Amino acid sequence: MTPFTQHTGLVVAMDRANVDTDQIIPKQFLKRIERTGFGEFLFWDWARDPSGKPIAEFELNRPEAKGASVLVARRNFGCGSSREHAPWALEDWGFRVIIAPSFADIFYNNCFKNGMLPIVLAEAEVDELFARAAKYGGYRLTADLERQTLSDEHGLSLKFEVEPFRRHCLLNGLDDIGLTLEHEEKISDFERAHSGVCG
């Protein structure tokens, strides 16, 4: 997993609450066995008409969203089923940072396990981000995980909190396998000590 220390990216503002995982990546696209390639199906039912043609008005289809890597949304983002495909699709599309007043617990945890930073801010702070995204063309934010700050080029500076263990894992690019491999020497010692032992 790629370590996350600091990221500056173009913002897409999605003024929707309770965005569920079935909207993020609809169930008909869950048949793939790879973790990649889901980005093209992101928000399919909102982004495409019944014939599959892009809907120009949808937030991610607008020209100014091209290359965006920071998503700002409303409360309870990632609710619904626990599918890990949702963060896979967001990451594959290019998002590294998701900002909202609240997240569904499983989705929030899955973001960290897939190298993305979900940031929880107060409703008023999220309102300010929406206002700034509307005011400034090509609005960009910088998320600094080491300092736990969010800033822009127009004087904004906000603090956010990430639980220390999750912060450590993301800063060092450690998913569950990476955490296990930190103990590789002890695992090897155990295997050597117990070689030939049957249960």
Residue 66 contacts residue 47 (beta carbons within 8 Å): no
Please, what are the domains in the chain? 6-193 (3.20.19.10)
Strand partners, 73: 14
Looking at residue 112, its amino acid is F
Burial of 39 (0-12, 13-18, 19+ CB in 10 A): middle
118-160 pLDDT, tens per residue?
Answer: 999 999 999 999 999 999 989 999 999 999 999 999 999 999 9
51-65 pLDDT, tens per residue?
Answer: 999 999 999 999 999
Residue 89 contacts residue 42 (beta carbons within 8 Å): yes
* DSSP letter (8 states) at residue 80: S
Residue with tokens 């956010």: 160
pTM equals: 0.88
Residue 2 contacts residue 115 (beta carbons within 8 Å): yes
The half-sphere exposure of 35 on its side-chain side, counting CA atoms within 13 A, is 9
Q: Averaged over 23-47, what is the pLDDT? A: 91
Looking at residue 194, its amino acid is H
In which band, very low, low, confident or very high, does the pLDDT at 30 lie, cut at 50, 70 and 90?
confident
